[in-house]
C-alpha cells in the first residue's frame, strides 16, 4: 500500500547516466494543452479540446519520464520514513530546493547501508510524477553515501564547541524543586503536547498550576520565540518554579530551531531550572544537553516535575499498607496467645468447675420444672403463642399498611397526571403557535391584502390589471370591490 503513494513501479531502461544537481529536479513541465492549442489553432476555432486532470497529468508524466529516465541527484536526506512493506520514503534537499524520493523494497534490499536523516548522498533514478497528487518525485535505483549532511555537521560542530565551554557539565545543572507550585511551559498552545502535559499533571498532582508561554516550535522564528519565553519567565521568577520546553517529534529540520547556539546560551543563563522535552525518545538536540534535565517525551517531563509529590503519595499508601499488615499480624498473635492460655491447666480447671456448676444448675432447673411450675409454664407458652398470632392478624396494622400503599399510589397518580397535562398543554401551545404563524389571516392582520382580478385569479403583477377593471381585495376581516384608475410599473 505504501508503494501506491508514489505511483506504480516500472522497470527503468539501461541508458547512459546523467548527473544533475537537486535544484534541476524541478524541471519546467511542457504545457501540452498549450502546444495543442498552437498547433490546432484553426481547428480549435470550431472545436475545443478539454483535458481531464488524469489524462493531462499522465501525458506530462510520460514526457518527463521519457526525457529524464536516468539521472544522478545529490543532496541531503531528510524525513526518512521506512515503511512496513520494505519501501523507503525520504526527501532529498539542498539549500534551495527539495525532491521527494521513493526507494522500493527490491532496490532497498540491495543497499549496503541504510539511509537516515542527515546523510549526504548521491541517488540514481528516474524522474516521474505521482498522478494521484500531481507531485514530482524521483524513483531511486541506487544510493551512495557522501558523508554527513550540512545540518548534522553543524550540529556536531556546535555540540563540540559548547561541550568545550562546559555548558554540558553536570556540576552546573540544578536539581528540580521537589514541590513546585507552578510550572512554566514554553510550547504551542494549540498542539497536542500541552494537552498531554495538563492530563498528566491533573492525574498526578492536581494542585500544581501550569502557565503556558505561546511560542513557535519550528521554523525560522522557533529559536527566538523559545528564547523570549525563557527570558520572560526569568523576569517573573515569582510566577513559576521550573521551565519546561515541550515539543512533539519531527524531522531534523523541524527540530533545527533547538540546535541554535543563541537558544543554548539563553538556557544556560536561566536562573530557573529548565527541563527539555523535545521530540521523541530518540531525538536529541543541543537544548537537551544544555538543559538541567532532559525528558524523553513531554508527558515524561510532566511526570518528572511531579515525581516528588507522586513519591510521597506512594510512600503514604505503602505506609498505610504496612500499618494494616502490622495490625493484622498483631491480632493474629493475640489470638494465638489466647489459644495457648486457654489450653493451660488453670483455665482448664476453672472451666471444668464452671461446667460442673452449670450441670448442677440444669438438674435443679429440671426439678423445678416438674409439678405445678411445669403445669403453669405450658399454658403460659400456649397463651403467648396465641397472643403473637392474634397480633399478626390485627386488622388495624394491616389497614395502616394498606393505607400507606394507597397513599403512595395516589401521590404517584397525581404526579403522573400533572406531568401528562403539562406536557399535553405545552404541546398544544406549540401547535397553536405554529398554526397561527402559518395562517394567512395572521399576514392579513398586519395590514396586507389579497387582490383578485375580475376572473378571480390572484394578481401578482401590475401588468395583469388594466385601468377601469374591477378588482376584489380580501382583507383580514371582509373584502371590498374597487376599480383600477391607474397602474404604475
What pLDDT, in 10s, does the model give residues 131-158? 888 888 999 988 877 755 566 767 787 8
What residue ranges do the domains of the chain occupy? 2-148, 154-305, 311-343, 396-438, 440-489
**Looking at residue 420, what is its pLDDT?**
93
Q: Residue range 225-241: average pLDDT? A: 90
Q: Taking all residues of the chain, what is their mean pLDDT, rounded to a whole number?
A: 78
pLDDT-based confidence at residue 4 (cuts at 50, 70, 90): very low
**Looking at residue 231, what is its pLDDT?**
93
In order, the DSSP letters of 153-204 are: HHHHHHHHHHHHHTTT-GGGPPPPPSS-SEEEEEE-TTSHHHHHHHHHHHHH
**Looking at residue 45, what is its pLDDT?**
46
Region at 7 (left for phi over 0; alpha for psi -120 to 50; beta for the rest): left
Q: Residue range 51-77: average pLDDT? A: 86
In three-state secondary structure terms, 42 is helix
Lowest mean pLDDT among 33-37, 126-130, 190-194, 384-388: 33-37
- Name the range with the highest mean pLDDT among 42-56, 73-87, 194-208: 73-87
* Rounded Cα gap, residues 308 and 64, in angstroms: 62
What percent of the chain clears pLDDT 70, i.e. is strictly above it?
84
Higher-confidence residue of 460 and 12: namely 460
pTM greater than the 0.75 cutoff: no
**Looking at residue 345, what is its pLDDT?**
58
**Looking at residue 353, what is its pLDDT?**
77
Residues 6+ apart with CB under 8 A from 204: 302, 303, 306, 309, 310
Residues 6+ apart with CB under 8 A from 299: 196, 197, 199, 200
Higher-confidence residue of 13 and 220: namely 220
Distances (CA, A) of 458 to 95, 438, 449, 462: 76, 19, 11, 11
pLDDT-based confidence at residue 394 (cuts at 50, 70, 90): confident
pLDDT-based confidence at residue 369 (cuts at 50, 70, 90): confident
Pick from 215, 230, 238, 297: nearest CA to 268: 230
| pLDDT reading at 13 higher than 60 | no
In order, the DSSP letters of 254-320 are: TTGGGG-HHHHHHHHH-SS-EEEEESSTT---HHHHHSSEE-SSHHHHHHHHTHHHHHHHHHHHHHH
pLDDT tens readout for residues 283-339: 788 888 888 888 888 888 878 787 766 666 667 777 788 888 888 888 888 888 777
Residue matched to cell numbers 529524464: 68
Would you tell me which CATH number, out of the four given (3.40.50.2300, 3.40.50.150, 3.40.50.300, 2.60.40.10), belongs to the domain 154-305? 3.40.50.2300
User: Terminal CA-to-CA distance of the chain, rounded, Å?
Assistant: 68
pLDDT-based confidence at residue 341 (cuts at 50, 70, 90): low
| pLDDT reading at 180 higher than 80 | yes
In three-state secondary structure terms, 87 is coil
pLDDT-based confidence at residue 229 (cuts at 50, 70, 90): very high
**Looking at residue 157, what is its pLDDT?**
79
| pLDDT reading at 7 higher than 50 | no
Domain boundaries 2-148, CATH class: mainly beta
Amino acid at each position: 500500500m505504501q508503494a501506491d503513494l508514489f505511483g506504480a513501479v516500472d522497470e527503468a531502461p539501461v541508458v547512459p547516466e546523467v548527473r544533475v544537481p537537486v535544484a534541476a529536479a524541478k524541471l519546467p513541465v511542457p504545457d501540452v494543452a498549450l502546444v495543442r492549442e498552437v498547433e490546432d489553432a484553426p481547428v480549435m476555432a470550431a472545436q475545443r479540446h478539454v483535458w481531464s486532470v488524469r489524462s493531462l497529468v499522465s501525458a506530462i508524466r510520460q514526457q518527463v519520464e521519457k526525457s529524464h529516465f536516468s539521472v544522478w541527484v545529490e543532496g541531503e536526506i531528510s524525513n526518512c520514513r521506512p515503511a512496513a512493506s520494505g519501501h523507503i520514503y525520504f526527501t532529498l534537499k539542498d539549500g534551495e530546493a527539495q525532491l521527494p524520493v521513493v526507494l522500493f523494497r527490491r532496490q532497498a534490499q540491495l543497499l549496503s547501508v541504510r539511509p537516515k536523516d542527515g546523510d549526504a548522498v548521491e541517488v540514481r533514478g528516474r524522474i516521474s510524477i505521482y498522478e494521484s497528487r500531481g507531485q514530482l518525485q524521483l524513483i531511486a535505483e541506487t544510493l551512495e553515501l557522501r558523508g554527513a549532511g550540512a545540518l548534522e555537521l553543524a550540529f556536531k560542530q556546535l555540540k563540540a564547541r559548547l561541550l568545550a565551554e562546559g555548558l554540558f557539565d553536570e556540576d552546573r545543572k540544578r536539581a528540580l524543586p521537589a514541590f513546585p507550585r507552578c510550572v512554566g511551559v514554553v510550547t504551542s498552545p494549540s498542539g497536542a503536547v500541552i494537552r498531554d502535559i495538563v492530563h498528566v499533571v491533573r492525574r498526578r498532582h492536581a494542585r500544581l498550576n501550569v502557565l503556558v508561554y505561546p511560542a513557535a516550535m519550528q521554523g525560522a522564528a522557533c529559536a527566538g520565540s523559545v528564547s523570549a519565553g525563557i527570558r520572560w519567565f526569568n523576569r517573573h521568577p515569582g510566577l513559576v518554579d521550573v521551565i519546561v520546553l515541550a515539543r512533539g517529534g519531527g524531522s531534523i529540520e523541524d527540530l533545527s530551531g533547538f540546535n541554535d547556539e543563541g537558544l543554548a546560551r539563553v538556557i544556560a543563563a536561566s536562573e530557573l531550572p529548565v527541563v527539555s522535552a523535545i521530540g521523541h525518545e530518540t531525538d536529541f538536540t543541543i537544548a537537551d544537553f544544555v538543559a538541567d534535565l532532559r525528558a524523553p517525551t513531554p508527558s515524561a517531563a510532566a511526570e518528572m516535575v511531579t515525581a516528588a509529590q507522586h513519591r510521597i503519595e506512594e510512600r503514604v499508601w505503602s505506609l498505610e499498607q504496612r500499618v494494616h499488615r502490622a495490625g493484622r499480624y498483631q491480632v493474629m498473635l493475640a489470638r494465638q496467645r489466647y489459644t495457648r492460655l486457654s489450653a493451660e491447666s488453670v483455665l482448664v480447671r476453672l472451666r471444668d468447675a464452671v461446667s460442673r456448676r452449670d450441670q448442677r444448675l440444669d438438674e435443679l432447673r429440671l426439678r423445678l420444672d416438674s409439678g405445678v411450675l411445669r403445669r403453669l409454664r405450658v399454658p403460659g407458652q400456649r397463651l403467648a403463642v396465641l397472643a403473637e398470632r392474634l397480633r399478626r392478624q390485627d386488622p388495624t396494622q394491616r389497614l395502616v399498611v394498606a393505607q400507606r400503599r394507597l397513599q403512595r399510589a395516589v401521590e404517584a397518580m397525581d404526579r403522573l397526571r400533572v406531568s401528562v397535562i403539562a406536557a399535553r398543554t405545552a404541546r398544544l401551545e406549540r401547535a397553536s403557535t405554529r398554526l397561527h404563524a402559518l395562517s394567512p389571516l395572521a399576514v392579513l392582520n398586519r395590514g396586507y391584502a389579497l387582490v383578485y382580478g375580475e376572473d378571480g385569479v390572484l394578481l401578482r403583477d401590475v401588468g395583469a390589471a388594466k385601468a377601469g377593471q374591477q378588482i376584489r381585495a380580501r382583507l383580514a376581516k371582509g373584502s371590498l370591490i374597487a376599480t383600477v384608475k391607474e397602474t404604475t410599473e
